[in-house]
Amino acid sequence: MGYKMIKIFFLLFTLMAVNALANDYFLNVQVDKKSVFIGEKCHLKLLFHYADLEDYELPEMKMKDFDIQELNSSDYKDAKGLFVEEVNYALIARSSGTFELGNLNANIEKLTKAYKHFNNRSKYTKKFSVKSNSLILEVKKLPQDITAIGNYRITSEVNTTQTEVGKPILFTLTLQGVGNIKNLDFLILHIKHATSYLIMSSKNSTKHIYTKTFKIVANESYKIPSLELRYFDTELGIVKSSKSMQYSIYIGEKTDKQVHKSYFKNILYLSIIFFMTSLLYFISKKIIFKKEPLYLLEQLKKVNNQDKLYKVLVPYLTKDKELDTLIYALESDNKMSFRKSKKRAKSLVKMMYKSDIITANKEL
């Protein structure tokens, strides 16, 4: 009878300890969508709530069939007074099926109540892990031969529909919309009896607008064909298409007077370009070798995502080889951990201040 009572008491004590731990430390995973299509973006939020502890390490987000990008992270207190670290990710599924998200572990180090002296801190440090909840995410296939998803509109314009032999026209193509298409590279401009070349490409990520401008030259009249994008509208669940306009371009013959005038006009045009290029080069050199802006470390503390971190660091390219490596990595790899990149940037900048590679009037 005594043995049974001890066993029951031990079990109750264990349950109480686990319950106390669960109230003070828990890991939660949330998603904004539980059903998506291949290529459709969904957002995952990792929330770690904790009381006082010695140290902790959150799990690295890795999933076999998903492209994962860390967007940002933040620290704050919840309504119960617990500390919270929130990390936000973007997930894009590469294959269809049913996937389980979560079951992640955060590793924690906590001092026990027996701890009294600083010199024996490690002796009284207890290590344990906290497991997250799990979620089911359904990923559905797209209709056959469709790879673009979202909602888009293609527009186009030309500066003129009548020109002369050898005189180019400008053709501008614009894509606006939200989805998994992030540029106009999928649209190929092929025009019979004419030569086209790209002169400008621009992107406004905030407004989701992508633009390309081409120069087209020909010796005879031609047509610019309509370009089409077929995509799947996830809200309506149907395939849609958006097309640019078709243009007929008339080519007239040049007179001798026009040829003579065009020659001198081109010489003047090239001279202006040379002058402006030289001026811009001189100005850029002055800007580059100016004294660096103050309080770079304070600027780093304010950034909350990888894109802003890259914009803050890129003016200091060529100042330090290790910083150059980090800048190039930020530019080419959007799957890097933002927290690790920011921590590395702070460390490098501190060393650059100490070495007088960059200067500041305010003591850090």
If asked whether residues 136 and 35 sit together in one domain, one would say yes
State pLDDT tens for residues 242-267.
999 999 999 997 655 555 566 667 78
Tens of pLDDT, residue by residue over 59-116, are 888 888 899 999 999 999 888 889 999 999 999 999 999 998 878 889 888 877 666 6
List, in sequence order, every residue forming a beta bridge with 138; answer none if it has no partner: 35, 98
Q: Is the pLDDT of residue 10 over 60?
A: no
Q: Give the pLDDT score at 119.
A: 64
For residue 65, is it within any domain?
yes
In this structure, are 133 and 173 located in the same domain? no
DSSP 100-113: EEE--EEEEEEE-T
Read off the CATH number of the domain in which 182 is found: 2.60.40
281 part of a folded domain = no
Q: Percentage of the chain surpassing pLDDT 70?
A: 80
Residues 103 and 56 in one domain: yes
User: Of 29, 36, 75, nearest to 56 (Cα)?
Assistant: 75
Which of 220, 238, 254 represents a domain boundary (last residue)? Answer: 254
| CA 106/CA 103 separation, integer angstroms | 10
Residue range of the domain that includes 214: 150-254
Q: What's the Cα-to-Cα distance from 220 to each of 16, 81, 192, 194, 266, rounded to whole Å? A: 87, 75, 10, 8, 22
pLDDT for res 363: 39
**264 is a domain residue:** no
The amino acid that residue 80 corresponds to is K
Task: Write b or e for each residue in 187-197: b if 16 or more Cβ atoms lie within 10 A of its Cβ, otherwise e.
Answer: eebebeebebe
pTM: 0.54
Per-residue pLDDT at 359 exceeds 70: no
Task: Count up the domains in the chain and report the number.
Answer: 3
Between 34 and 282, residue with greater pLDDT:
34
Residue-averaged pLDDT of the chain: 82
Task: Report pLDDT for 260.
Answer: 59
Percent of the chain past pLDDT 90, that is, above it, reads 38
Query: Is residue 43 in a domain?
Result: yes
Tell me, yes or no, whether 289 lies in a domain. Answer: no
Same structural domain for residues 79 and 52? Answer: yes
pLDDT value at 48 more than 60 = yes
Answer yes or no: are the C-beta atoms of 154 and 242 closer than 8 Å. Answer: yes
When computed from its CA atoms, the radius of gyration of the chain, rounded to whole angstroms, is 30
Query: Do 136 and 212 have their domain in common?
Result: no
Can you tell me the distance from the alpha carbon of 147 to that of 39, in angstroms, rounded to the nearest whole number?
Answer: 8
Residue ending a domain, among 254, 286, 305, is 254
Same domain for 90 and 170, yes or no, is no
Instruction: Judge whether 146 and 186 are in contact, CB under 8 Å.
Output: no
- Tokens 């540029």 correspond to 183
Asked if 98 and 178 sit in the same domain, the reply is no
Residue 167, pLDDT > 90, answer yes
Write the pLDDT tens digit of every residue in 283-334. Answer: 655 554 444 445 677 888 788 887 888 888 888 878 887 888 888 787 776 5
The residue ranking higher by pLDDT, 18 or 57, is 57
- Residue 9: pLDDT band (50, 70, 90) is very low
Residue 291 lies in a domain: no
